[in-house]
Every structure is written in structure tokens, then in C-alpha cells.
Structure 1
Amino acid sequence: MNLFDFIGSAVCHQMAERSFIWGDLQSPVCARCTGIEAGLLFGTVFFLLAGRQKGNRPFSFGSSLLAGLSFLPIAVDGVGSYLGFWASNNLLRVVTGAMAGYGLPGLFLLAANFQPGQRNDSPIYARLWEQAGLLALTLVYGLLVWLGWLPYGTVAVITALGVICFYGGFVFLLLRLLAGKREWPFLRLSALGGLCLVCLMGGLVG
């Protein structure tokens, strides 16, 4: 088990038959998680670059609709294949994973920053095209992985960073709830906490 496999084990079953393969190398997570973790990373990077860490405004109707429709395919494919109605494949898995994963950072932000009874006017997505662009980027990435056009190293690094963002999102949410109106170095603490949780979960699984 290399470092990337260890990090991937913190979130995924890592079944070979559901994963992408490069010769003797297997992706650190399954195809579905490959899409999810990429979406988590791309969404997190977007919010950091756009300065939306304090975003708290509830989604518009269009954003809510797009978010709901994005999560629907992973639920349908997961439940349908589990019940034996059809056999899923890595293309379906990575596409449905990408559609769900890109939206998770925005949900983390809303859950962490929204203040009931207060003015919540800091946008998470300023415009619908930002959300749609993130979705498109993650879908394109998933298709490139499925086509075999991206090397193992690129996919492994993106996946590992996405796993850290996943756990870091939970740490960010917890810290925001604990801090109240106090200002803490949330980003640094979230990154450190996410890394620690990855090590903990990977160690427990291993």
C-alpha cells in the first residue's frame, strides 16, 4: 500500500473491479469516489480563490434545483445496482460521483456559516454559471479519467487532496459551530484536522 492507497482507504472500499487501472497500478479509490473526491477538491479550490469562505446565503431556486438534480443520479444508480435492477459500470460510477461531489463543499459552507434570524447575504454561488461550471469541470475530469487520458500520478494526487478536503469540511463545520462569533484560523485548522482524520481513519482501516 502506497501513500495514496492509504489516504484512499480512509473513505473507500477500494475494490479492484470498481476502480480504474493503470497497468499494475490501481486508483486509490473506486470509480465513484474518484468523481466525488475530484469534485470536493475543485469546489474547495474555487471557494478559496473566489473568497467565499464566509458564504452563508441560501441557494437560489436555480442553484437548489441544480444541486438536487446533481445528487439524484448517484442515488438512482447506487440503489438500482445494489437491488440488482441493472449492473453499473465505471463510466456511470465516475459520472454520478462527479455530479454529487462538486456540490459538497458548498453544502459544507452553507451548513457552517448560515445564521438563523440574521442577514445571510454573503453568496456561496454568486451566479448559477459558477455552479454549472464546477459541475462541468468535474464531469470532464471524470470522463478524462475513464478514457485513460490522465496519468495515475495526476489522478492519485487529486484524489488524495479531495479526501483531505472531505474530512476538512467536517472539521470546518465543527469549528464554525464551536467558535460562534470568534475568529479562528479556520482554514489552517480545518486542513490540519482533515489530515489528522485521514491518518486516523486510514490507520483504523489498515
Structure 2
Amino acid sequence: MQRSDLGICGRAGYNQPMKNHPPSIAQKLSNWLVPLAALVMIATWLYIAPPGILGKADALGYAVCHRLDERSFHVDGRELPLCARCSGMYLGAVLGIAFQAITARRKGGMPPKIIIAVLVAFFLAFALDGANSYFFLMKSTYGGRLDFISTIYLPNNTLRLFTGSGAGLAIAVALYPSFSQTIWRDWDPRPALPGLKPLAALIGLMLALDLLVLPEWDWVLYPAALISAGGVLLLLTMVYAMLWMIFMRQENEFMALREAWLPLLAGLTIALIQITAIDLFRLWLTHTWGGFPLGQ
């Protein structure tokens, strides 16, 4: 092997050999059909979503969150697009993905066991607080019929925000390396989050963000509302883009994001299809863009 060949093959497991197979008929058709479908879905979603930037953010949150007023933070008397728990989860996920994109770039290895253990603990806290909060809601809504169900503690938005944030970080730490393994031709097998120091830095950033959200300052909640709602679209786009690349046999073919415009656009389009379908079904079911009308 020539020395120059090492630039292509690299370390074992680091770079993948280039794929020189010609595009299939499905891939050729997708070059035209995906942009057309994207335009249709973007126009459709913009049409059905409530007016204004926050209205569009509401439509994103509406597809994944109950949006109960008393379980949400408020800006100018208006509830955020996502409840406190979902706000924390999607803020944590966006922060985690951004952190790894800056510090890990194309690293696609999974974290060490100690980090996995910490993230599992975050998810267990998320599940425990979610279950306790759900049972409390059911007892409050349906009265004496569910008095036999006991709750561990009184739920509150502070715990919802913190436990949601922990779950969001866990999602990001799992999703980012999976995305890197799928999209990049030259992905790096080293862990995207290699040890406790970067994890501590990430948790510290998340705690700082949570502490800024809790006072419900308008100058914090406005961007937080848009970022958390955008996180819904970001996560779905990444997941569906990965599935598209696998289905179309395009994994490990790209060296830059601009080269991967088609699978990314396909992921965005499928995400909008899901969001629009859920929005329309929920709107038909409840006749409101607000929270679920429980107990009615």
C-alpha cells in the first residue's frame, strides 16, 4: 500500500473505503421527488400552524407534548410550546448535540460504561418523576376513584425541568455518535463523550441553563421556547435522515453536510409529515391548540 493510500483507509475503523457504485433508480428519482415533497410539506405545515413565530413553535410542541398550562412555564402570560418536562428534555438534547458537535466533531464511539451508568440514572429519575407526576394528575383529575394510588411526593415544575434535562442529555449522547457513524465516510471510532470531565462540563452547562429558565425571565424564555420547539424538529430530522441513508444504502458516503443535503432534506420532510399528521389528528380530536382537555 502506498503512503498516500493511508489518507483514505487511515486507522482501522477510522475511515471507510469510498463507495463507487452508480446511483440506483430510486436514488435518481429521490433527487427530484424529495425537494418537491419538502416544499409541499413545509407549505402545508406553515398553513395549518397558528400564526406568528411562537404559534409555529406551538405547532411543533403540540405534536409531542400534552401542553398543560399548569405544568408549563409562561412568558407574558402565555404558556411555552412545551411543558416544563419536555422543555427541559429538548433543551438538554439540543445542548448535548451542540456540545458534541463542537468538541467531538466526527467521533462516533459510544461513551464509557461509567458515563452510560450516569445517563441511565438520569433516565430513571426522569421515569420516576414522570410516573409520580402522572399519577398525581390522574388523581387530581378524576377525584376519589383513584385515591388508592399513592404518590411519593408533590410534583413541581422544577423537578420536571431538571429530570427532563437529564433525559435530554442522555438522548443526545446516544443520538450524536449514531448519526456520525451513519453519515460520515471518515467517522472517528473514539467516544464522542470520552470521560467524566466533558460529561461534568456538559451537565454544568445544562444546570446553568435550567437555573436561567426557572425565574421565567422573558429574555430567557423567548429563545428557550424557540430552541426547545426546534429541538423536536432537529431530533426527528436526524433520526429520519439516518433511516433514509440506511434504507437508500447511502450510509458512510459523505464528507460534508452540504453533500448530505438529500438525506437531511428527506429526514426533515418525513419529520414534518409526522408532526403535521399528529397536529391534524389532535386538532380534530380536541378542537384546540392548547393542552389536552382532561376530565371533560
Which of the five TM-score ranges fits, normalised by the shorter chain? Answer: 0.7 to 0.9
Q: Give the CA deviation at 1:51.
A: 4.4
Contact 1:163–1:198 (Cα < 8 Å) also in 2: no
| 1:130-173: CA deviation from partner (whole Å, max 9, x where unpaired) | 12222221222123212223533212221122112221231243
Give the match for residue 140 of structure 2: none
C-alpha distance 121-39 of structure 1, shift in aligned 2 (>3 A): same
Query: TM-score normalised to the size of structure 1?
Result: 0.83
1:71 to 112, 123, 141: 123
2:71 alignment partner in structure 1: 18
- 2-side partners of 1:191 and 1:181: how far apart? 14
Given that 2:75 and 2:217 are in contact with CA atoms closer than 8 Å, whether structure 1 keeps it comes out as no
- More divergent stretch after superposition (57-66 vs 90-99): 57-66
The answer to whether residue 96 in structure 2 is matched with residue 43 in structure 1 is yes
Q: 1:168 and 2:237 equivalent? A: yes
Q: Report the secondary structure of 2:191's partner residue.
A: coil
- Which residue matches 1:109? 176
Q: Residues 30 and 135 (structure 1 numbering): CA distance in 2 closer, same or farther, change over 3 Å?
A: same
Q: Structure 2 CA distance, aligned partners of 1:192 and 1:153?
A: 27
Cα gap change, 1:123 to 1:100, in 2 (>3 Å): same
Please, which moves more after superposition, 35-44 or 152-161?
Answer: 152-161
1:83 is paired with a residue whose SS is: helix
Alignment of 1:179 onto 2:250: yes
1:3 alignment partner, SS class: helix
Cα deviation for residue 90 of structure 1 reads 0.7
Q: Give 3-state SS (helix, strand or coil) of 1:183's partner.
A: coil
Letter in 1 for 2:80: S
Q: Which residue of 2 aligns with 1:144?
A: 212
Tell me how far 1:24 sits from its aligned partner. 2.9
AA at the equivalent of 2:202 = L
Q: 1:193 to 1:176 in 2, by over 3 A?
A: closer
CA distance in 1, matches of 2:216, 2:66: 22
Structure 1 vs Structure 2: percent identity of aligned residues?
A: 28
Following TM superposition, by how much is the alpha carbon of 1:75 offset from its aligned partner in structure 2, in angstroms? 0.8
TM-score normalised by L of structure 2 = 0.60
Supply the distance in 2 between the matched residues of 1:133 and 1:21 (Cα, whole angstroms). 28
* Alignment match of 1:57 (pick from 91, 109, 123): 109
Over 3 Å counting, the alpha-carbon distance change for 1:190 and 1:69 in structure 2 is farther
Secondary structure in 2 matching 1:102: helix
Q: Give the SS at the match of 1:29.
A: coil
- Give structure 1 stretches of 5+ with no counterpart: 115-119
1:157 to 207, 221, 226: 226
CA apart distance, 1:94: 0.6
TM-fit CA distance, 1:194? 5.0
Deviation readout 1:80-129 (Å, 9 max, x if unpaired): 23234143111111110011101212211344528xxxxx7322113322
CA distance in 1, matches of 2:245, 2:173: 15
The corresponding residue for 1:117 is none
Q: How many residues align?
A: 201
Larger Rg: 2
